[in-house]
Amino acid sequence: MQSIPPHGREHLHFANQFWADVRQAPDFGIFAEQVLKALIGESLEEFSRLTTIEKINKLVKHLNQQRCLLVIDNLEVLLDEQQWKDEGYQQFFSCWKEQGKNSTILLTSQEIPFSLQYESWLMLNGLEPREGGNFLSSLGVQSNPSESNEQDELENFSQMLDGHPLALRLAASYLRLYCKGKNILSQARQVGLVSFPSITKEASDEHRGEQTCLERLLQRHLERLTQNQYLSLIDLSVYRLPFTEDAATAMIGVTDLIEVLRVLEAFVQRSLLTKSGNLYQLQPSIQKYIQGIAGNQTVAHQKATHYYQKNIKSEPWSDLEDIRANLELFYHQCQFGSYLDAFTTTECVADFLDLKGYILQILNMYEHLQLNWQDDETNQKERNIIWNRLGYIRYYVGQASSAFQCYQQALNISFVIGEGRCEAIALKGLGDLHNKPGTFEQAIDYYQQALEIARQINEKDIEVDSLSGLGSVYFQRSQYEKSIDAYQKALQRHRTSGINTKRYRKTELSIILALGIAYKWQHDYGRAILVHREVLAIAQNIGDKEHEFDAYFGLGFIHFVQDKYSESIGYYREALKIAKDIGIQQKEAWILTDFGRICCACKQYPEALDYYKQALELNSTLGCQRGMAWTLMHQGSVYVGLEEYKEAIELYKQSINIYKAISLFREMIQALCLMGVAYDFIGDFNQANEIYQEAITVAQATEYGHYEAVSYLLQTISLAKPGDSLNALQSIQRAKILFQRMGIEDEIQHCDAVSQNYVFQVSSPSKLHFEIPDLPKLDLPEREDSTITKQSEQSSDSLSDYQQSAISSDVSFSLTIVFYLFISLFILANFIQGHLILGSIFLLVAVFFFFGQYLYSKRSQRK
């Protein structure tokens, strides 16, 4: 991939141009990064961490901002039977068709992608005779000066070669070097060039005919080379990338730089090489032909190996270009079967590629080794590592069944050769695959096996990973004490390793953050805040922006659930700045949604709806179904606050349907609970009870104990209000038992208060303690939050609406009993004393008062 030379930019009116030669089939992430780096002219340190959709949005956004020309050459390499090998390219072109403007994308391909077959394609059949003649003339080809029809002769000759630009260039180079201005046609006949078209026509396939013509022209050129030149060109053809004079010197084997330059210039004059700046390269068609006639090129690949070994950069590395020599070294080692060395080269860069997000690059390297490295007794340990690596990568990219097979292969080899480390890694990987609802017990078993082996052979990293895996399983099952214990042990073991690399610190941050989240869900907010602040300090110290964002975001949420809205907004704003700096729009949407939740809690419903609208638009742009469902769910709470319950229920249903479709059952339970609350508000307790029961069923099936407890607690309301006291008490007791298992003291006390006093103090729907550990994206200006802050301060110092309602109901009931007792005694006394008229008047007043009290109580119940 390279920039287009500046010649001609003025009349094309492009601010920038880039020629992307994709003959090496780079994955879309690498392609997008290189294009943006060329167009923007600066390093994109955080780009590799973006999702594919975010990379596409960033690239399309830049192409829309200024007029650029992007040429993508050799597109057919990215296709397999007209389908994209990498879905990222398909998504990019689909997005460009819908949103692209201002810039121009030019594609060249010998095969039309199925998804683009209805677009405008220009079939290039070669230059027209006049254009071909002018092209030959510009290349220095002249006819006999005595002839008056020179232009006609050039046009005829171009027509004989079907106007093929590369064929014309090769022919022009040949004629210019060997015909010396003599009559072109006569000389062309003498060297056999004129016979090419007739031979070409005999070929049944059009492209094969063009290739035959090129091959014969190339053969004429090669016949004119000296033996040393011929061998040098054969050797240079093994370079995949444009090469420098130093690389040519290493290949040609001549120490005299002037001699090397003379050889390279000879190839350029013959159009066998192209030169751009200080880089040389063979045209793809020429390179393919030369490699086809070269035979065994082992020696040339070995020379290339020695060259790239000398040019490997030492760490630290920042981007893919820093390890370019390593990647080319791997390629050449594989070409002559040095797979053990190629494996070593891969292991050197695998962690860096993983850290930077170049996961498909690693996958291609390990897959090549697995497919081509012959299995024998000498390489079992290395193949074991390859299977484990493939298992990890395929799990990462969502190929669970394939990952399972890879880990099983690794286990089988480990049993045979007695390799404990690889066995433990495979067991830990199988634990990761089973770390999901329905297979938690299997995951625990695999993690514990891995942990036992790791302790026996003193492999601290595997021990740490296994303990972290156990912590994750226990957390998802709402066993917070066990989760916290596992994470603390993992952290302690990790810190005794004595390693202090950046990757080590990132692992440490991940463990501490997971520990903080467990404290947060246990409602131990004091410890949760301390842990998140520790993450923040370490992340800022090592420059880890992603964990810095996580720390700010977590602190924002913790303060939100404690009604400390001013502090929450401050932390969220810091998180938003980081999200915009690193360009991860998904994280921006999380914050927009939580800004909406704060507004909703403060009863600023129009502002809340505005934030939710922005979050929905962003999630829609990103194609994030999870983020859309999350925002719709909280948008429903706004309409509950506005007492527009039908609209709220409709939004909850939309959210539930999305969660069910993408199998996110934990979030689905949250939406079910909120919808049940909405039915409680309108007095449809039977419907609310059915919804809570569905939430309980899903929670039990997926082992989400926390959500099961919350569902039981809310179900108590729908049972108690119609008077089903027995089932209501059973429901609240079940909730209490679950909260006791989780060690959440404030919820246990809440259950006791409900069961003893029968006063149901339910939080506002916008404040229910629900969250998703990792959420949704947008690029919007910050809004003024002074009114939010003002109302939040008032809100945090007062009782909730429900608490006030419950207290006022108790007081009203007590006063009513006292009043009726007094009036009854007074009426009875009047009748006994014979004051019938006065007694009747007081009786009538009592009846009217009772009827008014009844209407008032019904209205309050509905509210």
Q: Of 519-523, 620-624, 699-703, 821-825, where does mean pLDDT reach its minimum?
A: 821-825
**Mean pLDDT (the chain, rounded):** 81
What pLDDT is attached to residue 178?
66
| pLDDT band with cut points at 50, 70 and 90 for residue 842 | low
Q: Please determine, for residue 853, whether its predicted confidence score (pLDDT) is greater than 60.
A: no
Q: Average of pLDDT values for 412-430?
A: 93
Q: Which two tokens stand for residue 42?
A: 């600066």
- In the chain, the largest separation of any two C-alpha atoms, in whole Å, equals 150
205 pLDDT exceeds 50?
no
Cα angle: 527, vertex 531, 536; to 5 degrees: 145
- Is residue 715 within 8 Å of residue 692, measured between CB atoms? yes
Question: If pLDDT is split at 50, 70 and 90, which confidence band does 202 have?
Answer: very low
Kind plus residue range of the DSSP H or E element containing 744: none
Residue 803 has pLDDT above 50, yes or no: no
| pLDDT score of 824 more than 70 | no
Distance CA 697, CA 691 (A): 10
| Torsional sign, CA 749, 755, 761, 763 | positive
Say how many C-beta atoms besides its own lie within 10 A of residue 95's C-beta: 17
| pTM, entire model | 0.72
Q: What are residue 329's phi and psi, to 5 degrees?
A: -60, -45
- Of residues 452 and 196, the one with the higher pLDDT is 452
Range list of H helices, 336-375:
339-356, 359-372
Say if residue 581's pLDDT is above 70: yes
In this predicted model, what pLDDT tens digit does every residue of 6-35 receive, in sequence order?
444 444 578 888 888 888 788 888 888 888
| pLDDT, average across residues 791-812 | 38
Give exposure, 203-227, as e/b (b: 16+ Cβ within 10 Å): eeeeeebbbbbbbbbbebbbeebee
Q: Which pLDDT band, with edges at 50, 70 and 90, does 837 fall under?
A: low
Q: Cβ distance 743 to 522 under 8 Å?
A: yes
Lowest mean per-residue pLDDT among 67-76, 115-124, 228-237, 415-424 = 115-124
pLDDT digits (tens, 9 = 90+) for 490-534: 999 999 877 666 777 888 999 999 999 999 999 999 999 999 999
What pLDDT does residue 125 have?
Answer: 67
Tell me the two tokens of residue 363: 């996958």
Which tokens belong to 13?
């009116």
Q: State the CB neighbour count (10 A cutoff) for residue 530.
A: 12
| Phi, psi (rounded to 5 degrees) for 535 | -60, -45
> Interhelix angle for 380-396 vs 420-433, to 10°?
20
Residue 795 confidence (pLDDT) above 90: no
- With 60 as the cut, is the pLDDT of residue 794 above it? no
What pairs with residue 281 in β-bridges?
A: 274
pLDDT in the model for residue 836: 61
Strand partners, 275: 280
125 contacts 158 by C-beta, under 8 angstroms: no
Which pLDDT value is given to residue 183?
Answer: 58
Report the helix count and the strand count for the chain, using DSSP H and E. 40, 7
Task: Return contacts of 9-14, CB within 8 angstroms, 24+ apart.
Answer: 12/69, 13/67, 14/67, 14/68, 14/69, 14/104
What is the average per-residue pLDDT within 776-782? Answer: 31
Percentage above 90 pLDDT, the chain? 44
**Which range among 37-41, 61-65, 452-456, 487-491 shows the weakest confidence by mean pLDDT?**
37-41
Tokens 């056999």 identify what position? Answer: 192
CA distances from 405 to 182, 386, 400 (A): 69, 13, 9
Give first-to-last CA distance, the chain, whole Å: 66
Distance in angstroms (rounded) separating the CA atoms of residues 76 and 82: 8
- Measuring CA to CA, how many Å separate 735 from each of 352, 523, 670, 724? 47, 16, 16, 17
pLDDT confidence bin for 833, thresholds 50/70/90: low
Residue 775's pLDDT is 31
Mean pLDDT across 268-286 = 87
| Rg for the chain, CA atoms, rounded | 37
pLDDT of residue 76: 85
Q: How confident is the model at residue 720 (pLDDT cuts 50, 70, 90)?
A: confident
CB 481 within 8 A of CB 521: no
Upstream peptide bond of 316 is cis (omega within 30 degrees of 0): yes
Q: How confident is the model at residue 695 (pLDDT cuts 50, 70, 90)?
A: very high
CA dihedral for 356, 361, 367, 368, sign (positive or negative): negative
Sign of CA dihedral 654, 657, 660, 665: positive
Q: Are 495 and 524 in contact (CB under 8 A)?
A: no
